[in-house]
Amino acid sequence: MSSDSPLVSVILPTYNEAPNIGRLIQAILAHASRPTEVLVVDDDSPDGTWRLAEELGATDPRVRVIRRIGRRGLTSAIQEGIDHTVGQVVVWLDCDFSMPPELIPTLVDQVVVDGYDAAVGSRFAPGGSAKKDVQDTRDSWLGVALSNVLNLALRVWLTPSFYDYTSGFIACRRAILDEIRLRGDYGEYFIDLIYRAIRRGYRVIEVPYICVPRAAGESKTGSNLWQYGQRGIKYLWTAVRLRFSSP
């Protein structure tokens, strides 16, 4: 690991991820090919996710924790993490092992070595997929199907050259995040970020991966048609607003 490599800041927004957080942090640091810090931004999880992360941080200075009391939400947690990290490359991902931590160095290299401004872990780019054999898992086939349909609609409406508008797995230059602050409640923030970045001329590449069902815990996205529908309406409204607004 070169001493002059750019610092990579990995942000982990968490809520009730105690079964996953320790293993995930260790996996991220074990696969890191460049100097890396991990910042856990926890929404005061009742299961003590923040406490487990703090215990790791007590023995490893690369691990820090923000315990958010009285503040909650995915988008605001990621933005708070961005505001409290200093890495030249910023990464974030879900904390349930559905997104492989071993892919992070590849995403970072696309930025540092290949000159892209952002590299997105993509389920829908050629070579990627969302695992569908989920009958005996906590993840619903309904969520996979609706995610496919939603992303197809977003491609048609926004930029056809981009595939996974609801990824949430990204490595990007800090310059993008200094210019474009995150907006929205939940996953719609990613649609907003990617579309505005592309329209402003930033170079974005997708790196395919296989998204698998979460390792443990419960999904925060939803578990039934009503919950998925509520999310989907927000996503589609975001797309409509973006199409008719300046970048």
What is the CATH classification number for the domain harbouring 115?
3.90.550.10
Is 3 inside a domain boundary?
Answer: no
pLDDT above 70 covers what percent of the chain?
84
**Across residues 51-60, what is the average pLDDT?**
98
Is 66 inside a domain boundary?
Answer: yes
Please provide the distance, in angstroms rounded to a whole number, between the alpha carbons at the two ends of the chain.
Answer: 38
Is 2 inside a domain boundary?
Answer: no
Residue 135, pLDDT > 50, answer no
Is 51 inside a domain boundary?
Answer: yes
Query: Into how many domains does the chain fold?
Result: 1
- Residues facing residue 208 across a β-bridge: 122
Question: So what's the pLDDT on residue 245?
Answer: 78
Residue 159, pLDDT > 70, answer yes
**Across residues 189-198, what is the average pLDDT?**
95
Residue 120, pLDDT > 90, answer yes
Q: Which region, left, alpha or beta, applies to residue 102 given φ > 0 means left and ψ of -120 to 50 means alpha? A: alpha
- The structure tokens listed for 101 are 């931590």
| Residue pair 120/206 in contact by the 8 Å Cβ criterion | yes
Question: Where in the sequence is the domain holding 43, given as residue range(s)?
Answer: 8-243
Is 226 inside a domain boundary?
Answer: yes
Within the chain, where are the H helices?
Answer: 18-31, 49-59, 74-83, 104-112, 141-157, 174-179, 188-199, 225-243
- The structure tokens listed for 102 are 């071993």
Is 43 inside a domain boundary?
Answer: yes
Residue 133, pLDDT > 50, answer no
Is 26 inside a domain boundary?
Answer: yes
Give the chain's length. Answer: 247
Question: So what's the pLDDT on residue 243?
Answer: 79
The confidence band for 1, taking pLDDT boundaries of 50, 70 and 90, is low
Is 100 inside a domain boundary?
Answer: yes
